[in-house]
Amino acid sequence: MLFILLGVLVLHLIILILLIVSTAASTWSVGDKVSTDLWYNCMTTSEGYHCKPASNEDWIQAVQALMILSVLFCFCSLIAFLYQLFRLVKGGRFFFTAIFQILASVFVMCGAIIYTVMSPDIGAQFGYAYVLAWVAFPLSLVSGLIYIVLRKKE
Amino acid sequence: MLTVLALASVVLLGIVPEQSQAITIYTGWERHALVGSDIRLSCSFFSWRWTSDDVTFSWTYRPDGSRDSISIFHYTGGEAYVDNKGPFRDRVEFVGNPGRRDGSILIKNLDFNDNGTFTCDAKNPPDIVGRPSSVRLLVFEKLPIQAGVITGAIIGVVLGLLVLIVVIYYLMRFLVARRVFSLSVSKHGKKKKEGSQQRQGPAPPADPSKVKAAASEKKKQESRKDKK
């Protein structure tokens, strides 16, 4: 029982870290010496490393919002898990934790899909932050489903 | 002591008007507009003196990438003189109120060639020492949405919905507990309630235990929901 609990908690923490890194690192698209989105467009020129704010198109703002919301909801779900761990009645299910985690996974999915569809397809490839977002989505979905199934034993 | 005070006040009164003779002019910093629309460029000033009848406003325009300015508007002696030869002929209108220290102009039917810097210079004799203030005009085909507006809107809406759902949930629970109306959401609770009411009529002795069981079940459910 303790191992399951520990494993679930470690998974949750991994998902939270993935989401935070994916949201904060500005490398959703990378080029030769360029990395762009979500927050800054940075370029390595002969004079050094320059960054300017990312373009404020509608879809980029939507992806920003969805990623921030997913981080928030994942964090809330962690808090709810710790709270329910100590206060839930025996035999109860972790519903609130599951709901927040599944919502976080839905938001990451939406953000990643919007970015995939709308990103400019000239030359640039997808960077590691984009890959992390797509990795975080199934992990968080699985984690949410685990919380639905998990029951607090005596 | 009194002489020192008198001297100090004279000195102060001597100093303050010197500084206050500077006139401060306020315009915007940057203005965005759509092609074909009208825009009001506001210009107002602050002066320590009362607004005199000889107050003057003048607007000059410097196109983007050029170093020459051209004068497009002048207000003096109670009369407004607009551009009748330059790039803004028949497009400038005076919409200010000199008595209220407002020297704003209205430029109609904007075009991409109107991108540039507009400088307003106001003079309120004898307050003439001042720095003209400039406002930059940017003409767009489609107004871009500022960074962060949509982001903030989406986050705000989702969090607001969350708060709303939580509030409604607790409100419904409160109302159901107060028996304002009964829902069929908690089917166990309602059936047991109906069951206990039905059995209360014909068989009172068998009832208390079943009512107690129903009540304890309900209490267990409530406590479970509480602890969530």
User: Over the stretch A104-146, which tens digit does the pLDDT of each residue have?
Assistant: 999 999 999 999 998 877 667 889 999 999 999 999 999 999 9
Highest mean pLDDT among A28-32, B19-23, B131-135, B202-206: B131-135
**Which one has a higher pLDDT value, B204 or B86?**
B86
Strands B105-107 and A48-53: unpaired
Q: Please tell me the distance from the alpha carbon of residue B155 to that of residue B228, in angstroms, as a whole number.
A: 25
Q: Which CATH number fits domain B19-140: 2.130.10.10, 3.20.20.70, 2.60.40.10, 1.20.1560.10?
A: 2.60.40.10
Residues of chain B positioned with their CB less than 8 A from the CB of A96: 228
Task: Tell me the one-letter amino acid at A62.
Answer: A
- H helix or E strand, kind and range, residue A41: strand A40-45
Q: Please tell me the distance from the alpha carbon of residue B69 to that of residue B122, in angstroms, as a whole number.
A: 17
Asked if the Cβ–Cβ distance from B155 to A65 is below 8 Å, we say yes
Closest residue to A56, CB basis, from B145, B153, B223: B145
Please state, rounded to an integer, the average pLDDT across all residues of chain A: 88
Asked if the Cβ–Cβ distance from B224 to A96 is below 8 Å, we say no
Residues of chain B positioned with their CB less than 8 A from the CB of A58: 145, 150
Asked if the Cβ–Cβ distance from B228 to A96 is below 8 Å, we say yes
Domain ranges of chain B: 19-140, 145-178
Sign of the dihedral through C-alpha A134, A136, A138, A140: negative
* Residues facing B39 on adjacent strands: B107
Task: Tell me the one-letter amino acid at B68.
Answer: D
Alpha helical stretches, state H, A1-154 = 2-24, 58-87, 95-118, 128-149
Strands B133-140 and B30-34: parallel
- Flag whether pLDDT at B223 surpasses 50: no
Q: Which residue, among B32, B151, B219, would best test binding to A if mutated, counting the most A CBs under 10 Å from its CB?
A: B151
The two three-digit tokens of residue A131, written as one number: 């890959």
The two three-digit tokens of residue A85, written as one number: 């761990």
Residue A135 to residues A21, A106, A112, A142, Cα–Cα distance (Å): 12, 13, 10, 11
pLDDT of residue B161: 93
pLDDT of residue B198: 47
B148: closest chain A residue by CA: A61
Q: What mean pLDDT is predicted for residues B155-170?
A: 92
Q: Measured between CA atoms, how close is B218 to chain A, in angstroms? A: 14
pLDDT of residue B34: 87
- Flag whether pLDDT at B228 surpasses 70: no
Q: Please tell me the distance from the alpha carbon of residue A78 to that of residue A72, in angstroms, as a whole number.
A: 10
- Flag whether pLDDT at B49 surpasses 90: no
User: Which DSSP symbol is given to A54?
Assistant: P
Q: Touching check for B143 and chain A: CB below 8 Å? A: no
